[in-house]
Structure 1
Amino acid sequence: MSDSTRERMLDAGLSMLLRHGYNDLGIQAVLKETGMPKGSFYHHFASKEDFALQVIDRYMDEVHNGLDGTLGDPSLPPLDRVRKFFEATRDKYRDDGYLGCMLGGLGQELSGVSPVFQEKIEACLSAIGTRIAACMEEAKAAGDLPPHADPVHMANLMLNCWEGAALRSRLWRDPAPLDSMLDFYFSAVVAAPKPPIDASAN
């Protein structure tokens, strides 16, 4: 069976996992959505779990494409590239009907009951954080962040704030929590003054 069959099922899985989550996603529903026979599913996927893990990989392909297109844009300063990535992600959430982040949704649903998904989702978020941290390292080298800044910590903090805002955005069906989070982060966190020197440490 061709890879196009697998691709069609993965494409269907992207929107279905966003809409329904893992527990409410049935194999039969995927087959109905794609018009594929059951044998096609099990030719490409060992189980529902395997299918969902491959859908996450497909989702991450899209995320990395977005990172490539924004963080790799040499026409913008590094911090503007970071913000542009999150703004593009916000716009995609809107186009998807404010269903939010698949990683965040599945993480909330499955992290307490499935070590497999817990590790998978954490690895995906860590990969995103690593790329954002590298761009923030560029900002630090350019003098756009203070010398004491920790790009890894700042990237992880941003992801944590973003996932919380994405949840509220999904609940409200509104981008306002995402916009407020970005405004706060780039004004209050990125531009935070250097902490005072502790004279007692000398």
Structure 2
Amino acid sequence: MARPSLREKIVESGVQTLHKRGYAGAGVREITADAGVAQGCFTNHFRSKEAFAVTVLDRYQERTQAIMDATLRDASRPAVERLHAYFDAIAEWLEAAGWRYGCLVGNMSLEVTEQSELLRTHLIDVSSALTSSFAEAVRAGQKAGEIRSDLDAADMAVFILASWQGAMMRMKVDRSPRPIEQFRRVLFATVLAS
């Protein structure tokens, strides 16, 4: 079995490092130490910390998109069930992390948008992809009469993602599932009601 490349080790480890420590809290020294590689390896594979963060965001997005594909885009289930399945899947991960880390996309959105135009514009693209998955599920629910149709699906998707990110931010502060549970109760009783 082939050994993973040093670049791959840095990226894989970097997802965890940036998620736990934040962009500003993780220097190249911490990133390479966490990956178990020499510090010089970083500059062999990434031209800057910003370029590295773009790669890490892409890897995180791939994983998030896989969850969305298995839940939000599962056409064999009713749309409301898809949405519940997505939030259930993410809540399991959040619980396993002790309600501490939230979403890397949301964390970086709060942290880096004033310091890095490259990361800000990349976060726009990543957030658009996330929003699109929610919008697809909402449209399916509207078409089936499961979800109210008096609001635009794209607007609802933006609202869902923004509210979800806010609930995860509060969850991190409280280190409790309560904000996530409150978000879900209100979302399904109002915005996603039929």
With normalisation by structure 2, the TM-score equals: 0.91
Once the two structures are overlaid, the 10-residue window that deviates more, 84-93 or 169-178, is 84-93
8 Å contact 1:12–1:34 — kept in the other structure? yes
2:182 is matched with 180
Partner of 2:21: 20
1:49 alignment partner in structure 2: 50
Structure 2 counterpart of 1:159, from 131, 146, 161: 161
The root-mean-square deviation of aligned C-alpha atoms, in Å, is 1.6
Amino acid paired to 1:134: E
Q: Which is worse superposed, 101-110 or 89-98?
A: 89-98
Q: Give me the whole-angstrom Cα distance separating, in 2, the residues matched to 1:145 and 1:33.
A: 45
Q: Does the CA contact (< 8 Å) of 1:139 and 1:145 recur in 2?
A: yes
**Conserved 8 A contact 1:140-1:149:** no
Alpha-carbon distance in 2 for matches of 1:189, 1:71: 17
What does the per-residue CA deviation read over 1:93-116, in whole Å, with 9 as the maximum and x for residues that have no partner? 222232111111111111123222
Aligned to 1:195: none
The alpha carbon displacement at 1:72 in A equals 3.0
How many percent of aligned residue pairs carry the same amino acid?
29
Residues 1:71 and 2:92 aligned together: no
Count of residues in correspondence between the two structures? 191
- 2-side partners of 1:120 and 1:92: how far apart? 24
8 Å Cα contact 1:100/1:170 also seen in 2: yes
| Structure 1 stretches lacking a partner, 5+ long | 193-202
Alignment-mate amino acid for residue 72 of structure 1: R
1:118-137 CA-to-partner distances (Å, cap 9, x unmatched) read 21112211111111101111
Q: Distance in 2 between matches of 1:65 and 1:113?
A: 30
Alpha-carbon distance change, 167 to 147 in structure 1, aligned in 2, over 3 angstroms: closer
Q: 1:63 to 1:125 in 2, by over 3 A?
A: same
Distance change >3 Å, CA 169–CA 73, structure 1 → 2: same
1:24-71 CA distance string (max 9 Å, x none): 111111222222123322221111111111101110011011011112
Q: Distance in 2 between matches of 1:125 and 1:25?
A: 23
- Correspondences of 1:59-98 after superposition (within 5 Å): 59-98=60-99
For residues 85 and 45 of structure 1, what CA distance do their matches in structure 2 show?
A: 33
Q: Any unmatched runs of 5+ in structure 2?
A: none
**Partner Cα separation in structure 1 for residue 75 and residue 149 of structure 2:** 22
- CA drift of 1:83 comes to 2.1
- 1:3 Cα deviation from its structure 2 partner: 5.6
Q: Secondary structure at the match of 1:7?
A: helix
Q: 1:97 to 1:11 in 2, by over 3 A?
A: farther
Q: Which has the larger radius of gyration?
A: 1
Query: TM-score, normalised on structure 1?
Result: 0.88
Structure 1 range deviating more: 142-151 or 163-172: 142-151
> Which consecutive aligned stretches of 4+ in structure 1 deviate over 4 angstroms post-superposition?
none
